[in-house]
Structure 1
Amino acid sequence: MTEGTLNADPAELAKFSELAHRWWDTESEFRPLHQINPLRLAWIEAQAPLAGRQVLDVGCGGGILADSMARRGAHVLGIDLATKPLRVAQLHALEANTPNVAYREVSAETLAAEQPGHYDVVTCMEMLEHVPDPSSVVRACATLCKPGGSVFFSTIHRNPKSFLFAIVGAEYVLNLLPRGTHEYLKFIRPSELAAYCRDAGLQWDGTRGLAYNPLTRRYRMTDDTLVNYLVATRRT
């Protein structure tokens, strides 16, 4: 990413903005996010207790994860570049009376220049596969985190199995997601993400997979990282 350019795809922002009003409908296109949220929240908190911590959620969308982390006692800022989802997040926080959560329309790179080393925990979930330069986001997340703090990512592996499950299965067969939600070539191999993390000064602490059972319609954590996977890192 060159200086002065925005690390965002206008088509991606428009795609999620169009659906913003459905973000907190648990039976909408965002049902998968609502279903996986308790799993990813528990996984994050097992490694980085949230109560009383300064937490940043990068690419927060409508605020599902940010809201739940605030309810665990964290002081949370959610950031995104899509205006409509942010408005939905703000409205939900008001309606639900969620404490200690705020939202800003700002890029991770811009905020990193403003607040380097400010946050105990940084999360960036289901976002890296939607931006032109994921390595830039990883660097920004590292910069925003305090030394010794935790940075968490989740994204999708790039391989034949992930194409079959995350695009063909999820978007065309099971209709879990709107068609066109993901682009296969934007998926990120763990080896690629590990390189981004090393370059940013993040120590790779662990990886978990996320699997969906179409019969029970439930998600679970797994050791299989060939489709959806989550990564825990620590700022050195």
Structure 2
Amino acid sequence: MSIDNEEITKFAKHSNQWWNESGSFKMLHKINYLRVDYITKIIKKIYNNSEIEILDVGCGGGILTEKLAENSLYKVTGIDPIENNINVAKTHKQDLKIDYHATTIENFTTNKSFDVICIMEVLEHVSDLESFLKSVLQHLKKNGILFFSTINKNICSFIEVIILAEYILRFVPRKTHDWNKFIPPSTISKLLLKYDCKIENLTGIRYRPLTDRWVLKESNIKSNYIGYAVKC
């Protein structure tokens, strides 16, 4: 089981904050438009205007899930191991057609496979990365797309994500992240290749303090980064 009980306890304390854009998850709200734009452009490029099934793993209160579900071509499922997160997501979705489940990826059962799976800001919080990725990929169709975003492991990410984001700028609560669990892209690439999935793109997510905006920068993945892989 890839679940980390300390992480579950930590995030469960903030379950009522998911839709407070000035609260514990304000950074996710600020970068959500970047994530949605990145994901939808790739989906359109590969699937054109076809109907597709999407699974959002570690969906939390549904910040990304809801935006994806606004597209009528996307049939979206969201799962999260924290039951109160799912309760918040179900309440907030209103008329959006989203299938939510309070479960881990290992215990998730369904009779369908997915064209697209998203694991955004999740990888750095699991206890067993390989086990988690293996379980995720079991639900992805052949030639399906895996979207992921996480944090590189180096001195730059320690300064930017731990010192600046948590202790100085207060983008997220202190101790949200553990630098020891940050992940170099090469580690993800090797694990994905082991399970017949190849990374096609990596792009950095950078903060611009003068404009208080986040931007995508393909040439800079030294800290936060987003990417996608295709299952062979």
Contact 1:116/1:145 (CA < 8 Å) preserved in 2?
A: no
1:146 is displaced (CA, Å) by 0.7
CA–CA separation in structure 2 for the residues paired with 1:14 and 1:88: 16
Determine if the alignment matches structure 1 residue 172 to structure 2 residue 171.
Answer: no
How much is the aligned-residue C-alpha RMSD, in angstroms? 1.4
Q: Out of 203, 214, 225, which is 1:229 matched to?
A: 225
* Whole-angstrom distance in 2 between the partners of 1:117 and 1:103: 15
Q: Helix, strand or coil for the counterpart of 2:149?
A: strand
Match of 1:3 in 2: none
Residue identity over aligned pairs, in percent, reads 34
Cα distance in 1, alignment partners of residues 111 and 4 from structure 2: 25
Whether contact under 8 Å (1:79, 1:103) holds in the other structure is: yes
Once residues 160 and 84 of structure 1 are traced to their aligned partners in structure 2, the CA distance between those partners, rounded to angstroms, is 35
- Return the alpha-carbon distance in structure 1 between the equivalents of residues 25 and 88 of structure 2: 13
Shift of 1:110: 2.5
Q: Specify the alignment match of 1:104 in structure 2.
A: 101
Q: Aligned runs of 1:59-208 on 2, under 5 Å? A: 59-73=58-72, 74-94=74-94, 97-98=95-96, 100-111=97-108, 114-115=109-110, 118-208=113-203
Give the number of aligned pairs: 226
Structure 2: stretches of 5+ with no match in the other structure: none
Deviation for aligned residue 1:109: 2.1
CA contact (8 A) 1:135 1:196 kept: yes
SS of corresponding position for 1:109 = coil
Shift in Å at residue 214 of structure 1?
A: 2.0
Distance in 2 separating the partners of 1:219 and 1:109 = 33
Distance 1:216 1:42 in 2: 19
Cα deviation, 1:32-66, whole Å, max 9, x if unaligned, reads 10111111111111111386211000010111111
Q: Which has the higher helix share?
A: 1
Shift of 1:117: 6.3
SS in 1 for 2:19: coil
In the superposition, the TM-score normalised over structure 2's length comes to 0.93
Equivalence for 1:29: 24
Residues 1:133 and 1:142: Cα distance change in structure 2 (over 3 Å) = same
Question: CA separation in 1, counterparts of 2:231 and 2:112?
Answer: 10
Quick one: which of 10, 16, 19 aligns to 2:14?
Answer: 19
TM-score, length of structure 1 as denominator length? 0.92
The question of whether the paired residues in 2 share the 8 Å contact of 1:81 and 1:107 is answered with yes
Q: Provide structure 1 residue ranges, at least 5 long, that are not aligned to the other structure.
A: 1-5
1:168 and 1:26 map into 2 onto residues whose CA distance is 22
Give the AA of the match of 1:83: E
- 1:23 CA drift (Å): 0.5
Preserved CA contact (<8 Å) 1:80 1:86: yes
Q: What is the CA-CA distance between 1:107 and the residue it aligns to? A: 1.4
- Contact between 2:152 and 2:184, CA under 8 Å: does it hold in 1? yes
Which of structure 1's runs of 4+ aligned residues deviate more than 2 A?
A: 49-52, 114-117
Instruction: Summarize the Cα distance change of 1:160–1:84 in structure 2 as closer, same or farther, 3 Å threshold.
Output: same
